[in-house]
Chains A and B, each alone.
Chain A
Amino acid sequence: MSAVWSISKKELVSYFTSPIAYIVIAIFILLSGFFFYSLVWWFNTQAMQMAQNPYYFQQVNINQMVFAPLFHNLSIILLLMLPVVSMRLFSEEKKMGTEELLFTSPVSVIQIILGKYLAALVVLLAMLVLSAIPTIFTFIHGNPEPVPYLLGYLGLFLLGAAFLALGLFWSALTENQIVSAVLTFGTLLLFWVLSWAAYSARGLWQDVLNYLSFFEHFDGMTKGILDTSDLVYYLSFAFFGLFLTHSVIQFRRWR
């Protein structure tokens, strides 16, 4: 465990001594702040109009009108930005030759992978926590339901964790960071598009495509529904990504 933490610490030093982490976090905060502001502004005008009709006024719900769309927007921004976080994890080691140091030290490949993954998760957590600060004010000036709000952030974290596991896999395959980022981004887009294909598919295909799509599993959480199958989906996706990373590293050395 201490070996995992040593690797994580080293990765975090790299993230925060290079501009990458700062830029990713800053842009994420900026965009989420913008979306949050415009959604709240839209919610205000809607609420004013609805207030004139007692029936509609009961329908006014800040969770449904502000947070659910905010979480959906943030999930797309994560899809665009997390490949940049994961791209350097193994690619850089390979390019700098430091891979040889890691793999000839008495630390297992699994520990190395977990250490790197943990560091990327810390960056993800920093992105989400810092971007959540403005949304806390809705609890001061209003009364949103906390459960869907918290589940939404949990969903974003799980989604991001799955993205990062996939990114880790691609970075283990190439020594070029750009290639690693583009491949991650491409694969993520493919999974996103699967949910569109599901609309036109029928029967079993529709179920399969829906199951594979990232965002189908995210929907429920933003509505405050925690389904274990969604949790299982994200966790197994992340596990599968890490497993593939391990296989790739072992294969490259043993061929």
Chain B
Amino acid sequence: MIETEQLTKKYGDLVAIQNLSFKVEEGRIWGLLGPNAAGKTTTMRILTGYLPATSGRASVAGFDVFEQAEAVKQSIGYLPETVPLYPEMTVESYLGFVAEIKKVPAARKKAAVDRAVQIAGLQSVRKRLIRNISRGYKQRTGIAQALIHNPRVVILDEPTIGLDPAQIKEIRDLIKSLKGEHTVMLSTHILAEVKEVCDGVVIINEGKLMASGSLEELARSFSQNDGVYLKLDRADGEVLNLFRQLPGLKEAALDGSEIRLEWPWGQDLRTQVLKLCLDRKLEIKEMRSLAMNIEELYLRIVSGGMEQ
């Protein structure tokens, strides 16, 4: 649904993004992840047709971003980093205006506004001036604006920035509800957001692609084995030997006060491990997945400079 090939953008001598190639499948929610000034906003601006690329190709919904710009713009809903609002308009008249410039037919304009208000939960403020509504509602109005013409692709640049935790949760739920019907790409540098909302990520740093794929794929590519860390009431050689007898287990080792158990991807020995602990009356204090969490993954990819 979104595809780029060797996409490069230079501002004079400054290279904003370099040879970026990635792919987002239809109906998925994809995160564009990277530190500040990594080129996230530039990438999104090229995809939405706001900026032309210096070289390379990009296509959205099957249309070429450069050659079929109008068709691309018609199939994208875009929330830029600064929410594009006219403070002197009411929420309703603003959404009406956006519907008009997004070429929603006049007969369906009212329905489109009602639908966007409904989805974004703006019923209580729809008649109010945008200048008088809260930050959270402004952000929602921005999202409503991006959805007004029911676009196939939705691009959101840092949709939860500057919101309080309750608002962040609401916006995330809203984004999750778009899954399936829309293809969503959102940029962020909040890792928890990716874990909660996204199916996959594109990680960029200093304009270069560091990794891309679903979260699971990425986790697999960075460690050979799946497994768990186990914290028991006791951790000694005797216990380790017990675990080593489990069929399929590749490794059992002591890691500080924790026991690390590894097995190949595709198997899952968690049930067996639990059963063993119960049989032997070993008290489990904690058990967590060995698979790298997104924070570790991100730090390794971005700081380690591991290119794929």
Chain A residues in contact with chain B, CB under 8 A? 2-3, 6-7, 9-10, 13-14, 17-18, 96-108, 253-254
Q: How far is the CA of A254 from the CA of B52 in the complex (A)?
A: 6
Distance from B61 Cβ to chain A, minimum over Cβ atoms (Å): 13
Distance from A174 Cβ to chain B, minimum over Cβ atoms (Å): 18
User: Does B74 lie within 8 Å of A106, measured CB to CB?
Assistant: yes
User: Does B98 lie within 8 Å of A253, measured CB to CB?
Assistant: no
The one of B51, B70, B86, B103 in contact with A10, judged by C-beta atoms closer than 8 angstroms, is B86
Dominant secondary structure at the A interface: helix
User: Does A13 lie within 8 Å of B88, measured CB to CB?
Assistant: yes
- Which chain B residues in 81-103 approach chain A with CB under 8 Å? 81-89, 93, 97-98, 100-103
User: Does A6 lie within 8 Å of B83, measured CB to CB?
Assistant: no
Chain B residues, CB < 8 A from A97: 80-84
Interface residues on B, range: 20 to 34
Distance from A248 Cβ to chain B, minimum over Cβ atoms (Å): 16
- Which chain B residues in 33-76 approach chain A with CB under 8 Å? 45, 48-52, 70-71, 73-74, 76
B78 at the binding interface (Cβ < 8 Å): yes
Can you add 20 more A-B contacts, CB < 8 Å, to A10-B89, A98-B84, A105-B98? Answer: A3-B100, A6-B100, A7-B101, A10-B86, A13-B93, A14-B88, A18-B88, A96-B85, A97-B80, A97-B82, A97-B83, A100-B80, A101-B80, A101-B84, A104-B48, A104-B73, A104-B76, A105-B101, A106-B74, A107-B101
B145 at the binding interface (Cβ < 8 Å): yes
Chain A residues, CB < 8 A from B78: 100-101, 104
Chain B residues, CB < 8 A from A105: 73, 98, 101-102
Known pairs A13-B93, A101-B98, A104-B78; A96 contacts B86 (CB<8 A): yes
The one of A2, A99, A104, A108 in contact with B100, judged by C-beta atoms closer than 8 angstroms, is A2
Count A/B pairs, Cβ under 8 Å.
Answer: 74
Q: How far is the CA of A3 from the CA of B93 in the complex (A)?
A: 15
Chain A residues, CB < 8 A from B86: 10, 14, 96, 98
Listed residue (B51, B76, B100) with the most chain A CB atoms within 10 angstroms of its CB: B100
User: Does B51 lie within 8 Å of A17, measured CB to CB?
Assistant: no
Contact with A along B211-255 (1 / 0, CB 8 A): 000000000000000000000000000000000000000000000
Q: How far is the CA of A96 from the CA of B131 in the complex (A)?
A: 12
**Closest B residue to A108 using CB positions:** B70
User: Does A98 lie within 8 Å of B100, measured CB to CB?
Assistant: no
Chain A residues, CB < 8 A from B73: 104-106
14 A/B residue pairs, CB under 8 Å, sorted by A: A13-B88, A13-B89, A97-B81, A97-B83, A97-B84, A98-B85, A99-B84, A101-B84, A101-B101, A104-B48, A104-B78, A106-B103, A107-B101, A253-B52
Known pairs A10-B86, A13-B93, A97-B83; A104 contacts B50 (CB<8 A): yes
**Closest A residue to B76 using CB positions:** A104
Q: How far is the CA of A253 from the CA of B82 in the complex (A)?
A: 18
